[in-house]
């Protein structure tokens, strides 16, 4: 950063683009007081940056030469999860506003000021960006870890390109060109809009101060930045250091701009009327209600089901990304609902006709609310939203007892459907979805061989087959209040089918990542401490089989760009460890 003050630099920037006409006009442009402008002009003349006619000297021109913009990095790797229900179709870089794709508008605005050295960091739906390499001669940098890391990692991949460089988030629409042919200092763009959602505020001394009081408002963070000189060099080094620190995996790149509680760059404050961050469907609709990107069959379904215009669907909010689906909350006719949109590759995993049959079987059985809408062809589902909901805490004994009681009551209904959920068939099926790729586990073939050795014992055991949930995850047991009473529902029936109901016990345990003591306690709870040894052995077999089944499922989903961290490792461990536990118990019965 130059030794001059921000006031002096801003006035030099103005005079580089415009001829001097009056101090008053300078004050209006820079937003500095007239007195401040007059004193600053005087200093610039005294220090030989301006002539007495307020024209730039060669000394000032040298400053501009050192800081001239040369490059841009556009960050476009992320999911854009908050853009539901349209982010499943394309990256939000390609949202259209007034007939222009966001990223193409940004590239064209950069070209207008002479910036053609442009790098784009891509990840989610990276193939959609490929044509830009030919059309605009941009470089594409692939972030392979876009699913599990934030954009600090994205920028670190392009760290060597940060030198007189614009950093540009792909979700920003600017009414006026935010880029300039001339720059003098490093800055970070914020707007004049005050919001509690900001991390920084512009101080009276033209610094960007971190907000530590949660009740304090700050300047809305636009996110475009310009980095030059020592600031750029320092940022490159810090980015790489933070990128190697796992505690920053979920951090935004701006974390590298802070020194203690202040950013190391100046603020560039713009009018909120000139910039818009597009993070949600409704933000796009507010900006351009005629955007072609607003076309969404999910919104059309809601509008048709409730007999309203699409604009009547409001308060659209993404919910936590599930393992199989993407879901969002919305309001219509003053009521809240949840819409489920099947996730990547789900059509390979779930038979929606079978799911519809299950919901018909459990209708009005007080197991869960009946769906408001369910399409057996594409899996779209609308359900009522329950206020004050919490999921089962599988480590809380009271919660556990209530959930197992509901699970047992469901099994005792002995409901019937016309399709099975065969564990071994699904295990093989998920493996086939790998398209010939080997497992990521070195000893997979041995583990699979051991698991299949348990099939003969399972097949030989008596079973009272009925509709079984299969996905009896603690997160699928919902506690909520209704008329002053605590209620409990079991949701998400998309894998349900005819099976030995004892599979649900195994599933609950492995989803909860129970150790053996907890697993045995779960079995004892379901059977009121009256579980015969051969049934316990059978459940151990199910734990091993289901562990490998979901491990294979995780490997397939991983190929779709969806990762589950320690969950996938835990499932593989269940396959190996409970094979041993089952064998020990089975062998003990034969002695």
Phi, psi of 486 (to 5 degrees): -80, 130
Contacts of 161 by beta carbon, 8 Å cutoff, 6+ apart:
71, 73, 119
pLDDT tens, 559-587?
A: 877 777 888 999 999 999 999 999 999 98
Supply the CATH classification number for the domain 6-66: 1.10.10
How far apart CA 129 and CA 388 sit, in angstroms, is 42
Q: 165: how many CB neighbours lie within 10 A of its CB?
A: 25
pLDDT tens, 266-321?
A: 999 999 999 999 988 889 999 998 888 888 888 999 999 999 999 999 999 887 65
Topology classification of domain 69-277: Spore Coat Polysaccharide Biosynthesis Protein SpsA; Chain A (3.90.550)
pLDDT tens, 136-147?
A: 999 999 999 988
User: Residue 389 above 60 pLDDT?
Assistant: yes
Unique residue bearing structure tokens 């499932």: 571
How far apart CA 241 and CA 244 sit, in angstroms, is 5
Instruction: Give Cα 252 distance to the centre of its chain.
Output: 13
* Distance (Å) of CA 33 to CA 7, 24, 42, 205, 537: 10, 9, 14, 14, 82
Give me the chain's average pLDDT, please: 92
Domain ranges (residues) in the chain: 6-66, 69-277, 296-385, 391-590
pLDDT band at 346; cut points 50, 70, 90? low
Q: What is the DSSP letter of 148?
A: T
* Distance (Å) of CA 480 to CA 242, 335, 458: 41, 17, 37
- pTM over cut 0.75: no
Fold agreement (69-277, 296-385): no
Specify the pLDDT at position 343.
Answer: 67
Alpha-helical runs (H) found in 413-491: 423-432, 444-453, 455-460
Contacts of 484 by beta carbon, 8 Å cutoff, 6+ apart:
none
Strand pairing report for 485-490 and 477-482: antiparallel
Contacts of 518 by beta carbon, 8 Å cutoff, 6+ apart:
509, 512
Contacts of 537 by beta carbon, 8 Å cutoff, 6+ apart:
457, 582, 585, 586, 589
Taking the CA atoms of 64, 65, 70 and 75 in sequence, report the sign of the dihedral they define: negative
pLDDT tens, 195-235?
A: 988 999 999 889 999 998 877 899 999 999 999 999 999 99
Task: Find the helix packing angle between 566-590 and 502-511, rounded to 10°.
Answer: 140
pLDDT band at 324; cut points 50, 70, 90? low
Whether residue 533 contacts residue 589, with contact meaning beta carbons closer than 8 Å, is answered with yes
Topology classification of domain 391-590: Aminoglycoside 3'-phosphotransferase; Chain: A, domain 2 (3.90.1200)
Unique residue bearing structure tokens 């600053």: 40
DSSP-derived secondary structure for 456-469: HHHHHS----EEE-
pLDDT tens, 112-133?
A: 999 999 999 999 889 999 999 9
How far apart CA 577 and CA 591 sit, in angstroms, is 22
* Distance (Å) of CA 303 to CA 3, 95, 295, 299, 378: 59, 22, 12, 6, 17
How far apart CA 399 and CA 89 sit, in angstroms, is 39
Identify the burial level of 397 via C-beta atoms within 10 angstroms of its C-beta, where 0-12 means exposed, 13-18 middle and 19 or more buried: exposed
Q: How much of the chain exceeds pLDDT 90, in percent? A: 78
Task: Find the helix packing angle between 444-453 and 533-559, rounded to 10°.
Answer: 150
* Domain spanning 296-385, CATH architecture: 2-Layer Sandwich (3.30)
Specify the pLDDT at position 1.
Answer: 40
pLDDT band at 323; cut points 50, 70, 90? very low
User: Residue 436 above 60 pLDDT?
Assistant: yes
Three-class DSSP category at 474: helix
| Least confidently predicted of 38-52, 231-245, 558-572 | 558-572
Q: 76: how many CB neighbours lie within 10 A of its CB?
A: 33
């Amino acid at each position: 950063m130059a030794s001059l003050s921000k006031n002096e630099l801003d006035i030099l920037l103005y005079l580089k683009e415009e001829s001097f006409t009056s101090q008053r006009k300078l004050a209006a442009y820079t937003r500095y007081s007239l007195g401040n402008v007059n004193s600053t002009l005087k200093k610039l003349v005294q220090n030989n940056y301006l002539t007495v006619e307020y024209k730039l000297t060669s000394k000032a021109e040298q400053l501009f030469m050192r800081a001239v913009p040369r490059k841009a990095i556009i960050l476009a790797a992320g999911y854009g999860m908050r853009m539901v229900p349209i982010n499943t179709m394309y990256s939000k870089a390609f949202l259209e506003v007034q007939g222009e794709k966001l990223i193409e508008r940004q590239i064209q605005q950069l070209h207008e000021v002479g910036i053609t050295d442009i790098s784009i960091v891509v990840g989610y739906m990276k193939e959609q960006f490929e044509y830009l390499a030919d059309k605009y001669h941009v470089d594409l940098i692939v972030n392979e870890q876009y699913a599990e890391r934030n954009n600090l990692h994205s920028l670190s991949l392009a760290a060597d390109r940060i030198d007189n460089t614009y950093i540009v988030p792909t979700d920003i629409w600017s009414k006026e060109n935010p880029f300039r042919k001339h720059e003098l200092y490093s800055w970070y763009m914020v707007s004049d809009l005050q919001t509690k959602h900001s991390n920084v505020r512009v101080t009276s001394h033209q610094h960007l101060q971190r907000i530590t009081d949660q009740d304090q408002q700050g300047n809305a963070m636009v996110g475009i930045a310009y980095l030059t000189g020592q600031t750029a060099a320092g940022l490159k080094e810090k980015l790489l250091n933070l990128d190697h620190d796992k505690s920053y995996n979920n951090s935004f790149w701006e974390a590298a701009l802070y020194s203690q509680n202040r950013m190391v760059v100046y603020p560039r404050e713009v009018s909120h009327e000139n910039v818009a961050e597009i993070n949600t469907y409704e933000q796009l609709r507010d900006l351009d209600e005629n955007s072609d990107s607003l076309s969404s069959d999910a919104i059309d379904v809601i509008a048709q089901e409730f007999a309203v215009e699409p604009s009547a669907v409001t308060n659209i909010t993404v919910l936590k990304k599930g393992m199989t689906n993407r879901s969002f909350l919305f309001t219509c006719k003053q009521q809240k609902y949840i819409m489920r949109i099947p996730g990547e590759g789900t059509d390979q995993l779930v038979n929606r006709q079978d799911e519809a049959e299950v919901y018909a079987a459990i209708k009005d059985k007080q197991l869960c609310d009946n769906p408001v809408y369910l399409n057996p062809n594409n899996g779209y589902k609308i359900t009522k939203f329950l206020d004050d909901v919490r999921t089962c805490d599988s480590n809380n004994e009271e919660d556990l007892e209530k959930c197992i009681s509901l699970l047992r009551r469901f099994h005792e209904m002995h409901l019937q459907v016309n399709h099975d959920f065969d564990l071994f068939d699904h295990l093989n099926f998920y493996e086939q979805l790998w398209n010939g790729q080997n497992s990521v586990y070195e000893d997979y073939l041995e583990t699979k061989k051991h698991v299949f050795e348990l099939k003969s014992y399972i097949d030989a055991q008596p079973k009272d087959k009925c509709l079984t949930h299969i996905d009896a995850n603690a997160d699928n047991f919902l506690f909520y209040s209704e008329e002053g009473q605590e209620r409990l529902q079991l949701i998400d029936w998309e894998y349900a089918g005819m099976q030995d109901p004892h599979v649900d016990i195994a599933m609950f345990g492995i989803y909860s990542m129970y150790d053996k003591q907890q697993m045995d306690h779960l079995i004892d709870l379901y059977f009121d401490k009256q579980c015969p040894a051969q049934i316990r052995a059978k459940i151990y077999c199910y734990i091993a089989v289901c562990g490998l089944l979901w491990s294979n499922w995780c490997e397939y989903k991983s190929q779709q760009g969806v990762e589950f961290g320690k969950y996938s490792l835990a499932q593989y461990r269940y396959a190996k460890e409970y094979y041993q536990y089952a064998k020990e118990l089975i062998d003990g019965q034969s002695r």
